[in-house]
Structure 1
Amino acid sequence: MYLFFLISGIVFIPQAYTLICNECSTFGSTCESTGSQCSEATRCATLRMLTYSGNTEEFDHMLGSCSKAEHCYEGSFNTGVKRNFFTTKCCDTDKCNREQPPLPNIKSNPNGKKCYRCDGVGECTGTVNCDGDQTYCATGQDGGETVKGCATKSMCFNPPPLLPAKLKTLKCCEGNYCNGSSGTTASLLLLTTMLLSLLLLSN
């Protein structure tokens, strides 16, 4: 009898609700698709990626997909030459992720933090004045070239899966100029070599 009730319960228990979200990659302002079922995610999201050179917009791209609630936030990475932002807009009903997230606040609001930046191949001795909640110095790779600058905590430790790989592999640290510079590294290496040479000659 127990086995009968167990089997009946399994058969008649309604299937668990699975959220369906729009999947898109567009330069437009709306995200529409046939929809995709989310396996673990509890939110539908649109993520807007923007790149500025100074105050001039160079890139504005929107992605839509399933998302976890912990990835519904904003973030930025400032290399001094380029400023990269992402904003997200999340919701919890089927295919609700149609609208483009709002523009980020791109106004400069220096917070006193300073990090190294790269002004050319191997030249990473410039300074970036960090803005707003950019409280970390970061180093990353872009097309095989090293980039350095200021980043928000979200970019460093919990980047949304929808971000491109180059913005999900930043190595971050706290403290002014903690992201090093090629010039400083080279100087230390030269100094160490000279000291070792002197020690060997003195023996």
Structure 2
Amino acid sequence: MDVQISVFLLFVLFTAGHSLRCYECMSQTGSCAGQNEQTCPSGYSQCESSTGITKVGDITSKVQVKGCVPVCQSGSINFGLVRTATSCCNTNLCNRQDAPEPSNVLNGKKCYYCDGQTCSNTLSCYGDEDRCLTETGENLKKEED
């Protein structure tokens, strides 16, 4: 009987220490130097590292984000002014490296986008960007009292 209790307690202590740990940071300077470790909450089974590039005219800014996520998909996405590349992994502290910057190599594909007036504008795709998304929404205006 004592052996069963000892084995049970050992199992509880062993499993309690196996929560996923990821690096976390949010840097608007483009570098995650001094990143912290975090223990992921229940249900968060992956570590993520994302690099976002915003370009407006001649001004470019870079943002790095790292942390625990419940679901993650590696790849890149192009919103026009903002392009983001994401790397995902699922072992302790596996997101030490920054995600690579989104590719600068045009791949010949294009998607349509809307600017408020028309939806016939085209957006050039880069690297592994191979799908267009269509999203609709409703602008809900808050009623004033």
Q: Deviations over 1:34-56 (max 9, x none)?
A: 411013333322111111236x4
Structure 1 counterpart of 2:100, one-letter code: P
SS of the residue 2:15 aligns to: coil
Q: Does 1:85 align with 2:83?
A: yes
Query: 1:11 offset after TM fit, Å?
Result: 0.9
C-alpha contact 1:22 1:31 (8 A) present in aligned 2: no
Q: Choose 1 or 2 for highest CA Rg.
A: 1
1:111 alignment partner in structure 2: 109
C-alpha contact 2:45 2:71 (8 A) present in aligned 1: yes
SS of the residue 2:120 aligns to: strand
Q: What do you get for the CA RMSD once the two structures are aligned?
A: 3.2
Q: C-alpha distance in 1, partners of 2:30/2:37?
A: 18
Q: C-alpha distance in 1, partners of 2:111/2:76?
A: 19
Distance 1:140 1:100, change over 3 A: farther
C-alpha contact 1:115 1:129 (8 A) present in aligned 2: yes
Q: Does 1:129 align with 2:122?
A: yes
Identity over aligned pairs, percent: 23
Structure ranking higher on relative contact order (CA contacts 8 Å, 6+ apart): 2
Q: C-alpha distance in 1, partners of 2:133/2:106?
A: 16
Q: Does 1:48 align with 2:46?
A: no
Distance 1:92 1:137, change over 3 A: closer
Q: Give ranges in structure 2 of 5+ residues lacking alignment.
A: none
Counterpart pick for 1:10 among 8, 27, 31: 8
Higher strand share: 2
Query: 1:128 offset after TM fit, Å?
Result: 1.8
Taking structure 2 as the reference length, the TM-score comes to 0.66
SS of the residue 1:48 aligns to: strand
Query: 1:138 offset after TM fit, Å?
Result: 3.6
C-alpha contact 1:31 1:97 (8 A) present in aligned 2: no
Query: 1:66 offset after TM fit, Å?
Result: 1.3
Counterpart pick for 1:99 among 92, 97, 100: 97
Structure 1 counterpart of 2:40, one-letter code: C
Q: Give ranges in structure 1 of 5+ residues lacking alignment.
A: 119-123, 145-203
